[in-house]
Chains A and B, each alone.
Chain A
Amino acid sequence: MSGHVHKDYIGAKFGMWLFLFTEILLFGGLFILYAVYLTRYPQEFISAGSELNVWFGGGNTMVLLTSSLFVAISITALRRGAKTLCLRLLGGTIACAVIFMVNKYFEWSAKISHGIYPGSEHLKELQPGEMVFFNIYYLTTGLHGLHVVIGAVLIAWSMFLIKSDKVNADDFVILENAGLYWHLVDLIWIFVFPLYYLILH
């Protein structure tokens, strides 16, 4: 191979945006099911949805929004050469991801201790519409939680590359793409939060 090095930043970001479309469509399947079942079981969705704790959801919304802000600032910091600040901000993002997941753990544990989880005996005594609601709630927030973890791993990997100067003020498209992915995690939550925690109260 010749030493032909081809770096195409626009291309790299273009590819990332296409990938983000696919993620939105992946969640799109769950949102379609939500819409269909909400139309079919409006009463049951309201009675089951009002059992979700808006403070857990609201708190996690604040945590995620803050983490996205950290990522956005970190990119500017890196471009201006403030490597240490950038790393600290990204550390903050990962801390937010951890808080989010711990929060989620407590929220799910509370539900599970009340016997509300897929396939449980208690769930089978509920109305069919309420069963659908809790199933889709677990699947949607579970899939989203998985994306939070993937996003945090991507951010950690970017931090490692920044530390070893492979990602720097002149070559930071990996951090930008990891940041884009993190914003997607945020964006999906921005739709999950009102659909599950707000409009059903």
Chain B
Amino acid sequence: MSETTATAANDRGFWGEANYPGIFGWIFSTDHKRIGLLYFWSVLTFFCVGVLLGLLLRLELFAPGETIMSAQTYNATFTLHGVIMIFLFIIPGIPAAFGNLIMPIQIGARDVSFPKLNLFSWWLYITGATLAVTSLFTGGGPPDTGWTFYVPFSAQTSTNVSLAAVAVFILGFSSILTGLNFVTTIHRLRTKGMTWMRIPLFTWSLYATAWIQILATPVIGITVALLFAERVLGTGLFDPAQGGDPIMFQHLFWIYSHPAVYIMVLPGMGVISDIIPVFSRKPAFGYKAIVVSSMAIAFAGSLVWAHHMYTSGISDMAVMIFSFLTFIVAIPSAIKVFNWLATLYEGSILLDPPLLYALSFILLFTIGGLSGLVLGAAAADVHVHDTYFVVGHFHFVMFGGTGMAFFAAMHYWLPKIYGRMYDKTVATVAWGVIIVGFLILYISMKVVGMMGMPRRYYDYVPEFTGLNQLATVGSWILAIGLILMFVNIIHGLFKGDPVEANPWGGASLEWQIPSPPPTENFGEEDPVVTHGPYDFKKAGIL
């Protein structure tokens, strides 16, 4: 990789150069790193709000009956928790925040293909987020449909579903524009020598994700648009009284929303694929297999949507076909897990915080993924459908998977962006507390779900009290761990010790430029790439 000019220790790189004064230098910036940080802080804010709502839900479930909120408030709270976590945190989380921060540097580009469009995407995100929040306080009050907006209830409820639908449409548009920007960038702006088989696996995962964003998101766009039209214009395409079919809403909704879970998890897998080789000091085992499996997940993940609908009244034949296809998606995910383990095998392992979060991803995602197979099998699904087993399952894959990957990415890349290091000991302790809290919280949910506790109820029978209290205590431990982690990392980013260009010993391009990176990432000359992203010998790390 190219030699870059050394910079003085007090050079703050892109932090020092803004086109406009003060905050306008951020909210009107077209620099991919500034936009990435805008996204990072926005999604982090919404993550914290989502966590608070989740804690309230757990508090309500601490005892049977009404504990701290009424049934209607509970409905609104879990809807809001879901909408915020899914549309405002997990979907844009890794791709829009870390994708913007890191991807152009990883391929040796100075920015994305369409920098203004990139800024516009963030503005759309903020607009959508604002409307989503506005929908809580206007109209008929906060939506109470759950994040899935199923008709006929969503078409009839007097709560403010219409505005929430508009918000989802706008957020989807933002996601589409980010996706097409990334695909174009990866096709067009790779530097000299950056062949397809030298692209770091994080960027590969963003490439696969971006295709799903482009091809699946328009379907949720038309679905919520039709819901909006049904509520406002009375065009009841899903209304049985007008000849429509509510099941068609579920089909269209999941044609997007199942691929969307891969929008959520694929970038996380990319983060893990980038971190594990660096902290094992070994090239990624099965690089090509990981690349192919990312694309295979993107493809096969588009064919399994109806496994959310086994109990909705679709035909037995459809259930069997979708169950079979669901098992197929497990294969590329498993390929990744085996490749990560093979990379670690006989590696020279450095147990730094990024690797710890990556390892917890593997553990929790594997548990979550295997419990997904229980749900994918039609016979078992009928038993646990719409129980806390499902809630436990998707928190294992979404929080244990994508959430942990987000934390791993924070600990791995933010020192590069801020040029400062956090306290690694505190980060390790926080990690331990998070894992303990996580396991107590979500394993309890899975067990109580197996026993038959349905999801989305603010009340339960007294037999479930013990496990629910255990889960709530777990949520407190988890919250303590999260606070510790965030305080430590934020303190480190602003007050920590300065770091050199390559604190972890990475071989991909982002580690060859100063920390923080300069405004256009590279000096006068574009970098020329002569080896793969995990070739630590040629990069001079080993």
- Dominant SS at the B interface? helix
- Closest chain A residue to B211, Cβ basis: A18
Contact of A11 among B113, B243, B519, B520 (CB under 8 A): B113
The verdict on A37 contacting B243 (CB below 8 Å), with A10-B188, A139-B226 known, is yes
A21 to B217, CA, bound (A): 11
Using a Cβ–Cβ cut-off of 8 Å, how many residues does chain B contribute to the interface with A? 42
For window 26-78 of chain A, which residues contact chain B by CB distance below 8 Å? Answer: 26-30, 32-33, 36-37, 40-41, 44
Quick one: closest B residue to A136, CB to CB? B237
Identify which of residues 155-173 in chain B touch chain A, using a CB-to-CB cut-off of 8 Å.
none
- A127 lies within 8 A of chain B by Cβ: yes
For this complex, 6 residue pairs linking A to B, each with C-beta atoms less than 8 Å apart, are: A22-B217, A25-B215, A40-B245, A123-B242, A136-B235, A143-B225
Contacting pair B218 A128 (CB below 8 A): no
**B520 A4 Cβ-Cβ under 8 A:** yes
Cβ of A138 under 8 Å from chain B: yes
Knowing A18-B180, A128-B243, A135-B235, say if A30 contacts B222 (CB, 8 Å): yes
Q: In the complex, A129 Cα to B179 Cα: how many Å?
A: 38
Taking CB atoms and an 8 Å cut-off, the chain B residues in 240-258 that contact chain A are 240-245, 248, 252
User: Which residues does chain A contribute within 8 Å of B218, judged by CB atoms?
Assistant: 22-23, 25-26, 28-29
Binding site for B on A (CB under 8 A): 1-2, 4, 6, 8, 10-12, 14-15, 18-19, 21-23, 25-30, 32-33, 36-37, 40-41, 44, 118-119, 123-124, 127-132, 135-136, 138-139, 143
Q: How many A-B residue pairs have CB under 8 A?
A: 113
Interface flags for B228-245 (1: CB within 8 Å of A; 0: not) read: 010001111100111111
Cβ-based interface call for B19 (8 A): yes
A15: shortest Cβ distance to chain B, in Å? Answer: 4
Q: Would you call A132 and B244 a contact (CB within 8 A)?
A: yes
Known contacts: A1-B19, A14-B188, A132-B243. The answer to whether A118 contacts B234 by CB under 8 A is yes
B176 in contact with A22 (CB, 8 Å):
yes
Residues 167-215 of B contacting A (Cβ, < 8 Å): 176, 179-181, 183-184, 187-189, 214-215
- With CB as the reference atom, state the residue of chain B lying closest to A44: B243
Q: How far is the CA of A32 from the CA of B189 in the complex (A)?
A: 36
| Contact (Cβ within 8 A) A21 B215 | yes
- Contact partner of B245 (CB less than 8 A), chosen from A21, A22, A36, A123, is A36
Separation of A119 and B519 alpha carbons in the complex (Å): 56
Q: A128-B243, A131-B243, A139-B226 are contacts. A11–B233 as well, Cβ < 8 Å?
A: no
Residue of A124, A127, A135, A138 ringed by the most chain B CB atoms within 10 A: A135
Q: In whole Å, how far is B81's beta carbon from the nearest beta carbon of chain A?
A: 27
Residues of A within 8 A of B187 (CB): 11, 14
Q: A29 touching B222 by the CB < 8 A rule? A: yes
Cβ-neighbour of B242 out of A11, A22, A40, A128 (below 8 A): A128
Contacts of B181 in A (CB 8 A): 15
- CB-CB under 8 A from B219, the residues of chain A are 25-26, 28-29
* Those 4 A-B pairs whose CB atoms lie nearest each other, nearest first: A128-B243, A119-B234, A29-B222, A25-B218
- Given A1-B19, A11-B188, 9 more A-B residue pairs with CB atoms under 8 Å apart are A4-B520, A18-B184, A22-B180, A22-B215, A29-B219, A36-B248, A118-B229, A119-B233, A135-B237
A150 to chain B, nearest CB (A): 13
* Closest partner residue, chain B, to A31 (CB atom): B222
Q: Is B66 interfacial (CB-CB < 8 Å)?
A: no
Which partner residue on chain B sits nearest A139 by CB separation? B235
Q: Which residues from A are CB-within-8-Å of B236?
A: 118, 131, 135
Among residues of B, the one whose C-beta sits closest to the C-beta of A2 is B520
Q: Are A135 and B110 in contact (CB under 8 A)?
A: no
Instruction: Kindly list chain B residues whose C-beta atoms are within 8 Å of the C-beta of A143.
Output: 225
Instruction: Check B519–A1 contact: CB distance below 8 A.
Output: yes
Once A118-B233, A132-B237, A139-B235 are accepted as A-B contacts, the answer to whether A33 and B113 lie under 8 Å apart by CB is no
Could you tell me the distance between the alpha carbons of A14 and B234 in the complex, rounded to whole angstroms? 38
Judge whether B243 and A15 touch: CB under 8 Å: no
Distance A124 CA – B188 CA, assembled complex (angstroms): 54
Q: Would A18 and B183 be within 8 Å (CB), given that A8-B113, A132-B243 are in contact?
A: yes
- Given known A-B contacts A1-B520, A30-B222, A19 and B188 have beta carbons under 8 A apart: no
Shortest CB–CB separation between residue A39 and chain B, in angstroms?
11
Interface centre among A22, A36, A124 (most CB of B within 10 A): A22
Measured between beta carbons, the chain A residues less than 8 angstroms from B240 are 128
